[in-house]
Amino acid sequence: MTVTTRFAPSPTGTLHVGNLRTALHNWMFAKANGGRFLLRIDDTDRARSEERHVESIRADLAWLGLVPDGEERQSARFDRYAARFADLVAAGRIYPAYETAQELELKRKVLLGRGLPPVYDRAALSLTDADRAKLEAEGIRPHWRFRLDHGAPLEWDDLIRGHQRFDPKTMSDPVIRRADGSWLYLFPSVVDDIDMGVTHVVRGEDHVSNTATQLQMFAALGAVPPAFAHEALLTGSEGKLSKRLGSLGVDHFRDAGIEPQALISLLARIGTSLSVEPHVDPAPLIAHFDFARFGRAPARFDETELAQLNARIIHQLGFDAVAARLPDGMTSGAWEAIRPNLATIAEAADWWQVVEGPIDPAELSGEDRAYLAQAAATAAAIDWSADPWHALTGALKEATGRKGKPLFLPLRLALTGRPHGPDMAALLPLIGRDRTLARLRG
């Protein structure tokens, strides 16, 4: 058996961080098992699906490095759904129902008012051919429901949640096709999973009850169902479900300077028993990916933790990996000097401006200005071919008796305009002799 997973977004909007996590875990599980990762565009909702969102989904996956091994679109498979639908209508597993939305809502309120679960009463099954003909003559078109078998319980061993059990008698027969002929999610998804050879369905825990009904659809269509893994949903850093997570997508992270490797490192591990560590190469994350390590508690997504991971990722990136995104003229040596001080790659431009100048002069006391004048004279006399920073500070320490902060801080302020930053031993050769003398002389 070739392990086959699928990510199945609807192109009615852009992907958010929860979607990205689902896509990542499907991709990682497939890769960990030498399998295939498929992209399925669930565009049965013609009114809300937009091609620009399809392109956005592809671009977002590419940014993360999640390359599908194949792509399908539900809008190209309507004939297939209709054929399997007809099979189940003939077998008596799908039936027409004629209640309006208002009538169904009234039934629901009555049941709730009696303290009963709002389960559909299957009134449509008692209609005769004459009843149905009369309703359709009146212009009432049916929606279609899948008839659940009320015999054995619906059970499966979830890869994350463990053994699951539902009583079909407590569940409504799900609507699978609207009166206008359009499809709802449940039935086409089952047909696709069968036809595409999907072996593992990885999705959020909000789909658990859908899985229970879909198990009978697989059986009705004569297919063995895939294995299921239902993941706990993401929560925000405040520790509860956050609507804000639904607005955090690739554009947000890219604009914030987040590297895809940082997002992968976080999303691969949160909600598991493994520690979150920065990985430039996802191979170790893939090698240790195991649903047995996932817990049922909500997974906490913290942007502060992501930012810290991002800095640690950047500190591992070589010059060749970032050269196209650095300021013109910035060399490998400059990147090595500046990199340990960066939280995002965009900040490299700020530090390159410090090197190239001009810089905003720092306010210094008269005593420190006299010290800098002495430093300028010393800098003009030292050997710049080896380690000019230590040569400069060593000579000044001996000549002035200064040490620690009084020795180093006025020099840093004069040379960079900032009290903190990259190691001056690495930065000073980049600034160079002429710029150093000019800045020390003010």
Count other Cβ atoms within 10 Å, centred on residue 44. 21
Binding-site residues for ATP: 243
Contact 51, 11 (CB under 8 A): yes
Q: Whose CA is closest to 81, among 217, 207, 251?
A: 217
Instruction: Determine the 3-state secondary structure of 142 from DSSP.
Output: coil
How close are the terminal C-alpha atoms of the chain, in Å?
73
**DSSP code of residue 282:** S
- Cα angle 252, 277, 311 (rounded to 5 degrees) comes to 50
The kind and range of the H/E element at 96 are strand 94-97
Question: Is the preceding peptide bond at 358 cis, omega within 30 degrees of 0?
Answer: yes
Give me the count of residues in the chain: 442
What are the phi and psi torsion angles at 278 (to 5°)? -75, 130
Count other Cβ atoms within 10 Å, centred on residue 137. 8
CA distance 52 to 14: 9
Binding-site residues: 243
What are the structure tokens assigned to 301, written together? Answer: 């997504």
What are the structure tokens assigned to 353, written together? Answer: 């401006």
CA distance 97 to 87: 18
- Cα angle 235, 238, 240 (rounded to 5 degrees) comes to 45
Q: Is 32 exposed, middle or buried (0-12, 13-18, 19+ CB in 10 A)?
A: middle
